[in-house]
């Protein structure tokens, strides 16, 4: 019985130690989440409006625009950017993004994969660790897996500029991005969106069954000069939004996961303490019975 009591005590200590860790991780993630949420909340309306304006311009000037980033080609060579976190302990957050990437690969890009023209670009280690093993026949680009150590616009734009240059030079005919879109601390939605070529506003309207909308723009300076500067800048801003969305989602998912783990540890400790008290009572009852039995035998 003493061995059982010792075992329960050790389990209680272990759960208490784990609970202290999960509480600390929850507090750290909550602190980081506030900053990350503020960053994406401030940027999202600006980035979304710019993106809508770019798609509208491209839709209006379909046959009269010379930007290399709007040219639709047969997607023989495709890149999928998979944005995940560097660390785990954030529930199903990374798994859901990886599943979204797998759906893209299995449903849309089997032909490119078979011809070894599918490239996986990784931002974050978790996606890299899983997909490089699952798809050894794909080309792997891993130089950006540590991007989250510096989320400045200058650093993040290295990735978007590489993708844009590769598309311009014909290395890729199409670029998709898989990431986690931040809704709130408890909800993160995995997304797969087309980054290049630029999707026209008419395509978005058709996908959402909306009526096509046209806008009349006056360009100053000339249309060519303006669009050559405007479209790359908007694309870099959109990619920055993907990364900041994913960053906030990671901390929201981790905070929620650690909160659930802390609650589960509390429930487990209650159960263990009940078991410990029962075992202790059984041990005391047994000892009293032995004492009473021994006294009765001596008196007899």
Domain-by-domain residue ranges, the chain? Answer: 23-257
* Mean pLDDT score across all residues of the chain: 87
Report pLDDT for 209: 52
For residues 231-242, average pLDDT = 94
Cβ atoms of 248 and 36 closer than 8 Å: yes
Report pLDDT for 139: 94
Report pLDDT for 219: 72
Concerning whether 90 is annotated as a catalytic residue, the answer is: yes
Q: Is the pLDDT of residue 257 over 80?
A: yes
Tens-place pLDDT, residues 54-83: 888 777 765 566 778 888 899 999 999 999
Give the CATH number of domain 23-257.
Answer: 3.40.1380.10
SS3 of the chain: CHHHHHHHHHHHHHHHHHHHHHHHHHHHHHHHHHHHHHHHHHHHHHHHHHHHHHHHHHHHCCCCCCCHHHCCCCCCCEEEEEECCCCCCCCCHHHHHHHHHHHHHHHHCHHHHHCCCEEEEEECHHHHHHHHHHCCCCEEECCCCCHHHCCCHHHHHHHHHHHHHHHHCCCCCEEEEEEEEEEECCEEEEEEEEEECCCCHHHHHHHCCCCCCCCCCCCCCCHHHHHHHHHHHHHHHHHHHHHHHHHHHHHHHHHHHHHHHHHHHHHHHHHHHHHHHHHHHHHHHHHHHHHHHHHHHHHC
Cβ atoms of 172 and 183 closer than 8 Å: no
What is the pTM assigned to this prediction? 0.85
CB atoms within 10 A of CB 208: 7
For residues 207-220, average pLDDT = 60
For residues 212-233, average pLDDT = 74
Structure tokens at 12: 């209680």
Q: Is the pLDDT of residue 254 over 70?
A: yes
At residue 202 the predicted structure's pLDDT band, cuts being 50, 70 and 90, is: low
Report pLDDT for 83: 96
Tens-place pLDDT, residues 273-290: 888 888 788 777 877 777
CA distance 84 to 69: 25
Q: Is the pLDDT of residue 207 over 60?
A: no
Report pLDDT for 210: 55
Q: Check 90, 101, 178, 185 and give the catalytic one.
A: 90
Q: Which residues pair with 175 in a beta bridge?
A: 79, 196
């Amino acid at each position: 019985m003493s061995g059982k009591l010792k075992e329960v005590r050790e389990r209680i200590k272990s759960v208490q130690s784990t609970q202290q860790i999960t509480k600390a991780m929850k507090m750290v993630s909550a602190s980081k989440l506030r900053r990350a949420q503020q960053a994406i909340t401030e940027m999202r309306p600006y980035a979304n409006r710019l993106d809508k304006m770019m798609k509208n311009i491209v839709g209006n000037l379909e046959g009269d625009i010379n930007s290399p980033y709007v040219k639709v080609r047969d997607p023989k060579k495709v890149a999928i950017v998979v944005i995940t976190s560097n660390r785990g302990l954030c529930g199903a957050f990374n798994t859901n993004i990886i599943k979204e990437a797998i759906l893209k690969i299995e449903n849309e890009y089997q032909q490119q994969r078979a011809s070894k023209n599918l490239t996986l670009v990784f931002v974050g280690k978790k996606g890299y660790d899983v997909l490089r093993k699952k798809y050894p026949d794909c080309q792997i680009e891993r130089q950006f897996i540590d991007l989250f150590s510096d989320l400045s616009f200058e650093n993040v734009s290295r990735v978007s500029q590489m993708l844009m240059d590769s598309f311009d030079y014909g290395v890729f005919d199409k670029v998709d991005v898989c990431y986690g879109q931040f809704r709130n601390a408890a909800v993160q939605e995995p997304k797969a969106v087309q980054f290049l070529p630029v999707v026209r506003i008419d395509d978005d309207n058709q996908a959402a069954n909306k009526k096509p909308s046209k806008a009349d723009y006056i360009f100053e300076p000339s249309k060519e000069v303006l669009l050559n500067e405007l479209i790359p800048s908007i694309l870099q801003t959109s990619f920055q939004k993907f990364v900041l969305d994913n960053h906030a989602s990671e901390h929201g998912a981790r905070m929620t996961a650690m909160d659930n783990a802390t609650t589960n540890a509390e429930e487990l400790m209650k159960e263990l303490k009940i078991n410990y008290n029962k075992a202790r009572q059984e041990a005391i009852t047994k000892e009293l019975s032995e004492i009473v039995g021994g006294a009765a035998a001596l008196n007899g």
